[in-house]
Structure 1
Amino acid sequence: MPSTITKSLVLLLCTFLGLVCGTLYLYSSYSPQLAQRLNYLATDSSLIALCGSLGVAVTGPVAGVVVDRKGYSVSLFIGGTSICLAYYGLKRQYSQALSSLWYLCFLLFSVGLGSTFINSACLKCCAVLFPNIRGVATSLPLALYGLSAMFYSVVASVYYPGDTSGFLGFLILSVGVITVICSPQLMLCDFRDLLPKRHRASNSEIIQLTTIGQKIDSEPIKYHGLHHNSELSGFELLRNPRFWLLFIATGAFASLGQMYIYTVGYMVKALVTNTFTTPVDPTAEYVPMEVVIQQEQQVQVGLLSVANCVGRLLAGILGDIISQSFRKPRGWLLFIPGIGLVATQIMGLSITDPHNLEWASMLQGFFYGFTFCIMPIIVGDVFGMENFSGNWGLVGMSPIVPSFFFTNHFGKVYDRHTVMSELGVTVCSLGNGCYRQVYKLTLGVSVLAILVVATFNFGERYLASRSLYQKRAGIKPEKQ
């Protein structure tokens, strides 16, 4: 058995590797500057961001297989190399003004790919080393995954104000150093057989990668007395209405969060451009508008990061409380992000001061993190753990299409309101009028998402009552 000190060291190193995994969410803090430097439209910038999300989504199953079959070493090498080379290419594109949209899309895809490979290795390593407290152990690297953007945003605002190229250089250096320092100890787990065989587990066995202290073999809560649809997968899963309700809800919640994360930089730019004034007092310190915009962008990204982390942790805690203490299904918790996202869409419609945008960023980050913590747990509760990885993989891909639509729609609306300035760059000075039309649409989507959540929860209660009535009346229940 490995010593407690050795296991604790590996856990600590996995936690720090979480910083590397979360750098993808930094994109919105420098995307407007990148677009301006390379003469891209907001629509193009949105496409680049979506390729990063696509890299995370589509490489998840592949990364799991690599970790299960080849160990941590290969996964860490692929992940670290992909991220470093991607940021090097990104810095080179920016510094030399080499405009190539599809190449940048590939670079962001590589960042997402590398993040997934490193994250998969860290999560499995923590879960296997601490089999009795897997939820707590895996929450640590996930926490720094969420806080990564906050860390880098603070560094950027303090040491690289207005210097996008210098900040990208720091990203390359820091990612490389963290990976080189933290990876060797994890790689030794492969070569020294540090992890006992009886505790080895495949990714498909690890359900509580986002929960806090929940036991693996805890019995799922049955939904309002209906027969629990345990161990569903494949075509049986696709024929189940609960799957599609979760699929739609996840797609709506996550895509609205991703749209905000990837476009908040443009929202800040529009609001600051609309409200920025030159100091009248000649003795007052003058800060160029571009510096103010970038600093405010980094503040928003930092707040999103912290709130995302808090949302993940709180969702795990509330999920355990509602299921174990009150014996109620975790699906009820979906009303929290549902109602919360309606509020954030209203805020997006009404906020005109860039400083007030901080509240929207905190709430949006919180509900986004809450969603991505509670959804996989619900998938395991409803459809069982045996095929969890495949089932959650299907549900987890639901945001791809709506996220592309909303983010691309935001870019098109924003571009329609931009004009060419005297300096030869495109700018929108209408404040929230640059993108307000988008939030009218997303507000309607968020309301519909609440109806889907209500159907998922109270529809189950209706079917259970109907089944009980038929049983008492001696009527053969209809085939579901």
Structure 2
Amino acid sequence: MASSPAPPPALISVPRITTLIASLLVSLSSGTNYVSFSCWIAYAPQLGAKLGISHTQLNIVALAGNVGVYSSGPIWGRIVDSRGPRILLAGAFLSLLIGYSGIRYLYDRGLPPNTSTLSILGFCVLVASSYLTGSGGNAGLVSAVNSTAKTFPDQARASTTGLVISGFGLSAFFFSSISHLLFAGNTSAFLLVLALGTSFPMIMGFFFVRPIPLPEQEGYEILAHRPRSLSRGAAMAEDTLPNVYGKKLWQSGDFWLLFSILSMLSGTGLMYINNVGSMSQALYAYKNPNYNEVEASGWQATQVSAISLMNFLGRIFIGLVSDLAKNKYDMPRSYSLVLVSFFFFISQVVAANEDRIENLWVASTLLGLAHGSVFSLFPTVCLEWFGMPHFSENWGYLSLSPMAGGNLFSIFFGRNLDKHDVTKTPPMVKVARVAAPQCLLGLECYVDTLYLTAGATFLSMLLSIWAGYRDRRKIAASREKKEFSRRGGVPWEYNEERRDD
């Protein structure tokens, strides 16, 4: 007689805690070229100087890393949903090791004699290496988040996944701090630390990051007798989860609603993060005849630190808030979208009215909190609205949205800055003497872009209110249908004409 399978471990147990800790360590090794970009700052100038590549080419290399993060999401998501996390962790190990080793090899080799610029082939290798670091880091994150979401129940899911994602936000700050403390001035050694320090934790994750089955009452099954997929909040009200993916996902108004909100919010965050150095420099240089490069770099580092640390805290904060709101006050997690949108809006309003470099950290702190919160909250909302079976694939498609908003707002920022470069500075304005062309008009250099992003984030706030209203309405309808079925009716015959928008 065959023995019955062992029951799943308790919710607070060694296997679940092991998965959580291992997932956090993997996440901490996965975000070195994303979010705060402080790792890139730590070696990009030296890389450009030694290889003779321009600022434009450096931006292309940095963009390749970001594209690696975004474009690989749907692919890694589909694999982890169907095959588990081990393939992703193996891919992350190879991608990160090869990517950072390739960058280090090109840096150590330098330029051949009698040449002043990197060859086209060498530049292509550099771009490909940067892409691998982004793709590999995203593979590590996807495996960690997917395993954590499947390991913990709904009551603690936002908090635990938020904790894991927080490691991704802290990754660049962690490794750049190591660079400043232990390898100041030694770019080759720092690149070696990145190659080994980001890849080898994936081996540990290969053995310890895995989803732990939940007790049966968690209700992950999609009831076989249902003739159609349940919506979002509606499914949660009936103690199950939906299963929306593929063509149905792309035809879903809910998907495009979340896509639009995330595109505007994350696009605002990426624009600010990628250009806060220029903002800081413009404010510091305005009417400052004693311009000092070292002091200017210090103000830039202040913004990076503020954004990175608050990014980390924001990912934990929103998980705790959304779990508390759902568990204690029966509020859908989609309600927290309004709070996150409000943080973004306030950060842009503050930045648009701050003309002193000493106070820019306030806007940077708010932006970091908002940006961290948005990438912690949206995966959980995605899971609730579209289901667990294809969660990572769906989140991969949804996370393509920052490419739209981020590129649009960043291009607008660049053009706005170009209109106010140093050659167009009015002669009566007293400015610092600097060698490189740049805008020296302070807040005027970029404030028009902040007006645009403030408008976009305000629109996101309105759309978030609409998303929460839709969620609440569908949950109420689902509970009515559930009550109807308890009285002896057939669930799917109740109000059948009411379908999702």
Tell me the TM-score range normalised by the shorter chain: 0.7 to 0.9
- Quote the residue 2:97 is aligned against: 80
Q: Supply the distance in 1 between the matched residues of 2:465 and 2:73 (Cα, whole angstroms).
A: 30
| 1:345 counterpart = 2:354 | no
Q: 1:263 aligns with which of 246, 271, 275?
A: 275
Q: 1:381 aligns with which of 380, 384, 399?
A: 384
Q: Supply the distance in 2 between the matched residues of 1:87 and 1:352 (Cα, whole angstroms).
A: 39
Asked whether the 8 Å contact 1:312–1:370 carries over to 2, the reply is yes
Q: Secondary structure at the match of 2:358?
A: coil
Shift of the alpha carbon at 1:297? 1.9
Q: Which amino acid aligns with 1:431?
A: G
Q: Secondary structure at the match of 2:357?
A: coil
Structure 1: 5+ residue runs without aligned partners? Answer: 206-214, 279-287
Identity of aligned residues (%): 23
Q: 2:74 aligns with which of 55, 61, 65?
A: 61
| 1:453 counterpart = 2:479 | no
Q: Supply the distance in 1 between the matched residues of 2:145 and 2:237 (Cα, whole angstroms).
A: 34
Q: Which amino acid aligns with 2:266?
A: A
Change (3 A) 1:159 1:77: closer
| 1:253 counterpart = 2:275 | no
Q: Supply the distance in 2 between the matched residues of 1:127 and 1:463 (Cα, whole angstroms).
A: 23
Q: 2:245 aligns with which of 233, 243, 252?
A: 233
Change (3 A) 1:135 1:79: farther
| 1:173 counterpart = 2:192 | yes
Q: Which amino acid aligns with 1:79?
A: L
Shift of the alpha carbon at 1:335? 0.8
Q: Secondary structure at the match of 1:328?
A: coil
Asked whether the 8 Å contact 2:102–2:125 carries over to 1, the reply is no
Per-residue deviation, residues 175-209 of structure 1 (Å, max 9, x unmatched): 2342476455445x3xxxx789xx678xxx9xxxx
Change (3 A) 1:150 1:322: same
Q: Secondary structure at the match of 2:234?
A: coil
Q: How many aligned residue pairs are there?
A: 441
| 1:273 counterpart = 2:273 | no
Alignment RMSD: 4.5
Per-residue deviation, residues 419-455 of structure 1 (Å, max 9, x unmatched): 3697752122111222112111111111111121122
Per-residue deviation, residues 391-446 of structure 1 (Å, max 9, x unmatched): 22221111111211111221222223223697752122111222112111111111
Q: Secondary structure at the match of 2:72?
A: helix
Asked whether the 8 Å contact 1:52–1:111 carries over to 2, the reply is yes
Q: 1:10-159 alignment to 2 at 5 Å?
A: 15-24=24-33, 25-26=37-38, 29=41, 33=45, 40=54, 48-64=61-77, 65=79, 68=85, 70=87, 72-86=89-103, 88-89=105-106, 98=117, 105-123=127-145, 141-155=164-178
Q: Which amino acid aligns with 1:257?
A: G
Q: Supply the distance in 2 between the matched residues of 1:353 and 1:94 (Cα, whole angstroms).
A: 42
- Quote the residue 1:301 is aligned against: 304
Q: Which amino acid aligns with 1:78?
A: S
Which deviates more, 224-233 or 302-311?
224-233
Q: 1:294-373 alignment to 2 at 5 Å?
A: 294-373=297-376
Shift of the alpha carbon at 1:241? 1.8
Structure 2: 5+ residue runs without aligned partners? Answer: 1-5, 7-12, 223-231, 424-431, 481-493
Shift of the alpha carbon at 1:322? 1.5
Q: Supply the distance in 2 between the matched residues of 1:437 and 1:360 (Cα, whole angstroms).
A: 16
Q: Supply the distance in 2 between the matched residues of 1:462 and 1:223 (Cα, whole angstroms).
A: 12
Q: TM-score scaled by structure 1?
A: 0.75
